[in-house]
A = this chain, B = another copy of it.
Amino acid sequence: MAPKPEPTVMEKIVSLCKRRGFVFQSSEIYGGLNSCWDYGPLGVELKRNVKDAWWRAVVQERDDVVGLDAAILMHPKVWEASGHLANFTDPLVDCKQCKLRHRADHMPGFDATKGLPPGTKCPNCGGELTEIRKFNLMFKTFMGAVEDSAATVYLRPETAQGIFVNFVNVQQATRKKLPFGIAQIGKAFRNEITPGNFTFRTREFEQMEIEYFVEPGTDEEWHRRWKADRMQWYLDLGMRKDRLQFREHGKDELAHYAKGCADIEYQFPFGWSELEGIANRTDFDLKQHTQYSGVQLTLFDEATKTHTVPYVIEPSAGADRSTLAFLVDAYDEEKDGDETRVLLRFHPRLAPIKVAVLPLVKKEGMPEKAMTIAKALRAAGITTGYDEGSAIGRRYRRFDEIGTPFAVTIDGDTLKDDTVTLRLRDTMEQTRVPAATIVDTIRERMNRMPR
């Protein structure tokens, strides 16, 4: 029998994610639901930390950006105005013989205006193909009591439109002047034909979007600034510089209204892939909604008595993609004697559990002392794990594997001199520190990291 091939890095990460409770297949006991994933106890903390770091950086630490949380269900006119109802489609063909369905735009020779070259056959069976049909990627549902008489509404395919339609309400409530931005985190849904790569491309996903409104003419400068700011965010949270790059969109890729767009890409094991797009959307969206709603989405300038339609810079990031990238980036294996130490080198701000509190043995009052320390850490808002289960080396490894940056061990000496061992995940360095100052010590060490 041939030897079983070594698992790939991605396979190891997916396996770790299930085993330790980062990510489970959704509805797994029923065979799963294609491309839907659930975040387990560690995954939910990791993703919360990613989203909180983003919110803090783009909203709470800035004076020029405010938050918003718009509903997933929106008035159907929104999608007429935005162009999604007419244009948010994939071109599909069916094979008349084997019945398989294909994305025409993924087949050789496809041209957006001319379609497929004459004579193109099914890549699976060589059978004849149907004409290309446009398939809208929005999920639709029905609001109201009876399907036929009810309003057809859509699950939003992006959070951005919730920001545009609230532009006047937000500006009037906050009295902000240009330039200012509105940021939002929320779920969006796309009925993708070919989801895949674990949590990278899914039908249900979470976005972190900013619409930053600027004076026309200053848009290119602000586009440059946001590109730099957003790249810096990933670096500040410890992502490796050599696995990040910008990719400028070519003219043929740009939407007709966009002046420019750059993606921030991460080098996943499955290739360079987009984490975030930063686009100059001009005044397209506000003008469209003004036209479709009849409500002026403009800013009035008291000095010149003129109405301005701002230009918009849109940094649009994926929360699930960033979370996956931070996970992949943190994954590391180290030879340690005959064994391999698997660890997640998360930035402390992203680590799901910051501190492990471990009694050396399960007796002599050590568990009680350990639980007192764990309680003090938790009361200080520091997520803390407690484990009294097995040999201390094994427990260290378990916490290394889930990316816990600090371990505090309570031993015989603790009961004599009230000191504990502080062990660092990355270097395995151990130092002795007073138990009474452990909260401050951890806080100080977390703040010592960049950001």
Contacts and interface: CB of A to CB of B under 8 A. Distances in A.
Interface of A: 18-21, 24, 26-34, 36-45, 47-48, 55-56, 60-61, 63, 66-75, 77-78, 92, 101, 135, 139-146, 153, 155, 162, 165-166, 168-170, 173-175, 182, 187, 189, 191, 193, 203-204, 289, 292-293, 295, 297, 374, 378-379, 381, 383, 386, 389
A28 B92 CA distance: 35
Given A24-B169, A26-B71, 19 more contacts: A26-B70, A27-B77, A30-B78, A30-B165, A30-B293, A33-B153, A38-B69, A38-B71, A38-B162, A39-B68, A41-B170, A41-B174, A41-B182, A71-B204, A72-B204, A73-B203, A140-B141, A144-B191, A145-B191
A interface: dominant SS: mixed
A157 B139 CA distance: 17
A56 B381 CA distance: 8
A38 B78 contact: no
A42 to B, nearest CB: 8
A38 B166 contact: yes
A142 B139 contact: yes
B39 A78 contact: no
Across chains A and B, which 8 residue pairs bring their CB atoms closest together, nearest first? A21-B173, A27-B75, A41-B66, A39-B69, A30-B75, A29-B293, A38-B70, A44-B67
Contacts of A55: 48
A40 B203 contact: no
A443 to B, nearest CB: 12
A298 to B, nearest CB: 12
Contacts of A168: 29
24 contacts: A19-B173, A24-B166, A26-B71, A26-B73, A26-B75, A28-B166, A29-B293, A29-B297, A33-B153, A38-B162, A39-B68, A40-B169, A40-B173, A41-B182, A44-B67, A44-B68, A45-B67, A61-B378, A61-B379, A63-B386, A72-B187, A73-B189, A141-B141, A145-B191
B173 A27 contact: no
A358 to B, nearest CB: 13
A44 B21 contact: no
A12 B187 CA distance: 31
A69 B44 contact: yes
Nearest to A17: B173
Contacts of A63: 374, 386
A221 to B, nearest CB: 22
A146 B40 CA distance: 32
Given A32-B75, A60-B381, A63-B386, A170 B68 contact: no
A71 B33 contact: yes
Contact of A74 (B36, B139, B193): B36
B193 A145 contact: yes
Contacts of A56: 381
A327 to B, nearest CB: 15
Nearest to A99: B149
A338 to B, nearest CB: 26
